[in-house]
Structure 1
Amino acid sequence: MNSPSLEVDLRSPVPPFEQIRAQVAAHVGAGTLAPGSALPSVRTLAADLGIAPGTVARAYRELEAAGVVQTLRGRGTRVADTPPGPDEAAVERTLREAVQAARAAGWDADRVRRTVAQALDAAAR
């Protein structure tokens, strides 16, 4: 996958596999990853992000279970031909979990709001 790039913030309370899953799903939903687009191999993406291959594999498994990608022997992992539309309940659940994780890590409401605002700004670019 040449573009868009994926990033993992190891300081984030959101687990790295979830960051990858959410970013790929967002790119698919926005159309920046078209149906049939190849994702990097598990090992390649893990090496690029400096994380364990199992972390990437888990993100890919969750994306496959949601119908966002499909993995075919010899073809790798690709965006599904007909990826599902946005799952609003899943997005809301993920945001709630991220807020709970941030609060558990001692973040105050202002820091959570700033971080969400920064993420929104970055996503708009």
Structure 2
Amino acid sequence: MIVVDPRSPVPPYEQLRAQLLEAVTSGELAAGARLPTVRRLAEDLGLAPGTVARAYRELEASRVIETRGRNGTFVALYGDPARQEAQRAAARFAEQVRLLRLDADEALALVAAALKSEPAT
């Protein structure tokens, strides 16, 4: 449930953007889920339509959501930017593993070990 606090120092559009992003990241809003129209969400939250439109624009610029013209606004199929970057990194790693002719099990063991180790500072 989205709640916008008018007393917060955080602008309403940013509160809305952050909460929608969290809902996508957590899986509460699944990929492909249809979002309310700008007007409907603005009315439901007691916000100006421009406020909701700005939050939607920023999420669309980040590729978290996508507008399909008159069909509406939807959570992008791969809406979580962190997950998108992880998928790109995994694809690059998989390509490198193939080039090095490493066994997939060995490559996965290397990843598991790297995830358990302390990050380099």
Shorter-chain TM-score range: 0.5 to 0.7
Q: Distance in 1 between matches of 2:75 and 2:39?
A: 18
Equivalent pairs counted in the alignment come to 83
1:31-110 correspondence runs (5 A):
31-86=27-82
Contact 2:38/2:52 (CA < 8 Å) preserved in 1?
Answer: yes
1:23 aligned residue: 19
Q: Structure 2: state its 5+ residue gaps.
A: 84-121
1:99 aligned residue: none
Indicate the SS of the match to 2:67: strand
Query: After the TM superposition, which parts of structure 1 deviate over 2 Å for at least 4 consecutive aligned residues?
Result: 84-87
> Among the aligned pairs, what percent are the same residue?
57
TM-score calculated relative to the size of structure 1? 0.63
Shift of 1:73: 1.1
Q: Structure 1: state its 5+ residue gaps.
A: 88-125
Alignment-mate amino acid for residue 73 of structure 1: G
Indicate the SS of the match to 2:3: coil
Alignment-mate amino acid for residue 59 of structure 1: A
Q: CA RMSD in A?
A: 1.3
Q: Distance in 1 between matches of 2:36 and 2:50?
A: 14
Larger-gyration structure (1/2): 2
